[in-house]
Amino acid sequence: MAPALLALLLACGCARNVGPAGPPPAISPVPRPALETVVLYFPHQSRPVLVREVRQAVRRGEFPEEFALRELLKGPRRPDARPLALPDPAPAEATGGAPEPVAGPSPLLVGKVIDGTLSLYLSPEAREALARSGSLLDIYALVNTAAQFNRVERVAIRFMDGGTLPVEGLAGTPGPLYPRRDLVDSAPAEEPPGP
């Protein structure tokens, strides 16, 4: 009786197929590093404006806004621009056999873009440095650099420890910030030296 029951179950399609139902899902390869052009915004050395810097750099497969912010944290090449008032990442350390050094921890983590809002998470040290500078230009350098991409309409500045930023003009932790094109210097940009 058992062999007859088993034959009946198999004939009726009650047997379970445990093999794959088709080809495995396609996995997108990580793009190879490529030289790309990016626009960065830095605070001016002495005037209350942002200066625009066009730079070529190697993009290593990250989202374009992550790539742009990584380049922004490296500092300006223009002599009339100053770096952001953020703590420097830990010194880069070479790894065994790696062709390029691996950067240390960043004062900034880039979150996801949801409904046009990019969340940036800053370290407590970054919050303290921005508060000491008291300049909105450093914040809008981040916002304008990230919001140049179509998928980013606004930027929410958040802090990893849940703190707030006591900078005049930004009460508490602000809602998402929109880019301020009115802060960008209208003078033609000098071309910085190459990579």
**If DSSP codes are grouped into helix, strand and coil, which group holds residue 103?**
coil
Asked if 77 contacts 53 with a C-beta cutoff of 8 angstroms, the reply is: yes
Distance CA 44, CA 83 (A): 9
Read off φ and ψ for residue 64, nearest 5 degrees: -60, -35
pTM reported for the whole predicted model: 0.71
Distance CA 84, CA 24 (A): 46
Is the pLDDT assigned to residue 187 strictly greater than 90? no
Q: DSSP class of residue 177?
A: B
pLDDT one-digit tens code per residue, 144-158: 999 999 999 999 888
| Whole-number pLDDT of residue 29 | 58
Task: Report CA-CA distances (Å) from 13 to 5, 16, 18, 107, 184.
Answer: 13, 8, 13, 59, 69
| Whole-number pLDDT of residue 160 | 85
Distance CA 83, CA 104 (A): 18
pLDDT one-digit tens code per residue, 36-77: 999 999 999 999 999 999 999 999 888 999 999 999 999 999
Distance CA 101, CA 82 (A): 24
